[in-house]
């Protein structure tokens, strides 16, 4: 498990950076992952811009969003978003909170967000809107208290994502890669819905189309294909997170093995 966990944490760092590079997250926002073998814990970066997150930045939390090991650096103030959703949704394995400029117009106006093209079906048939003011009055709009996070989780319900009035959005996934896929393509859907309104009347997908298209997006090959594309784009930019020293060493062949193989080739 240690090697497997290290690889998953590397993917979590990669997920943060991908969402940053693809324009979903800027300096603010965060991506988390539930612990693969302990459902009562999750991993989230220290307070850092997602496009800079490295595996060494990732901290382990319980579902009350308390760190397992007290950190020496600042933590995200809105981490209760993640902990309270993991409490409410046992099947959820990854969460993203962001303030995408494509989605914010829907958070501001209350205009209903609907799936308008096949990849947009990732948002599901219904996207609820959570208004923090309904329960908590005037606030700074940040979700810092456990009761605020729990309220957001209730508004999310069994849906794939929830819009937050005048704030942003929170998205969930049953795997980390599914989460990244849903996060990015829900923003693309919002962009296309907004553009379509300038051309004419917007017609969304039918319930049957949402269901059928959604099945395709859950296929492992679909997620792997998209993940490979985003990793390639990040790597071309030079934005791939560094691997821990131990992981880098494990990937290098042992010198004795290399020398032995070389001698064998010379004999041939």
What CATH number should be reported for the domain whose range is 2-267?
Answer: 3.40.225.10
d(CA 34, CA 36): 6
Residue keyed to tokens 């009055």: 137
Which residue, 69, 49, 61, 17, is CA-closest to 237?
17
Which two three-digit tokens encode residue 90?
């046992």
> pTM for the complete prediction?
0.89
Count of CB atoms situated within 10 Å of the CB of 166: 14
Q: What pLDDT band is residue 246 in, cutting at 50, 70 and 90? A: low
Residues assigned a catalytic role: 78
Domains of the chain, by residue range, sit at 2-267
Count of CB atoms situated within 10 Å of the CB of 105: 14
Percent of the chain with pLDDT over 90: 86
Q: Write out pLDDT tens, residues 66-88.
A: 999 999 999 999 999 999 999 99
Helix (H) or strand (E) holding 154: helix 146-156
The strand pair at 129-130 and 94-98 is best described as: unpaired
Q: Write out pLDDT tens, residues 14-58.
A: 999 999 999 999 999 999 999 999 999 999 999 999 999 999 999
């Amino acid at each position: 498990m240690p090697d497997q966990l290290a690889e998953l944490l590397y993917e979590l760092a990669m997920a943060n950076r991908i969402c940053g590079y693809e324009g979903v997250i800027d300096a603010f926002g965060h991506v988390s992952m539930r612990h693969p073998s302990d459902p009562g814990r999750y991993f989230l970066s220290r307070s850092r811009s997602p496009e800079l997150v490295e595996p060494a930045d990732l901290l382990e939390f319980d579902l009350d969003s308390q760190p397992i090991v007290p950190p020496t650096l600042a933590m995200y103030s809105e981490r209760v978003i993640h902990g309270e959703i993991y409490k409410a949704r046992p099947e959820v394995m990854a969460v993203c909170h962001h303030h995408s400029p494509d989605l914010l117009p829907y958070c501001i106006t209350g205009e209903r967000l609907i799936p308008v093209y096949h990849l947009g079906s990732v948002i599901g048939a219904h996207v609820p809107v959570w208004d923090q003011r309904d329960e908590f009055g005037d606030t700074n709009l940040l979700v810092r208290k456990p009761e605020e996070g729990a309220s957001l989780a209730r508004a999310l319900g069994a849906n794939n994502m929830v819009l937050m009035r005048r704030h942003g959005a929170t998205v969930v996934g049953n795997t980390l890669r599914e989460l990244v896929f849903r996060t990015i393509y829900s923003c693309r859907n919002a962009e296309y819905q907004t553009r379509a309104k300038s051309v004419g009347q917007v017609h969304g997908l039918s319930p049957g189309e949402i269901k059928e298209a959604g099945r395709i997006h859950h296929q492992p090959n679909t997620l792997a294909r998209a993940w490979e594309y985003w990793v390639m784009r990040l790597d071309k930019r030079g934005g791939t997170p560094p691997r821990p020293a131990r992981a880098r060493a494990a990937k290098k062949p042992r010198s004795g093995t290399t020398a032995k193989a070389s001698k064998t080739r010379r004999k041939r």
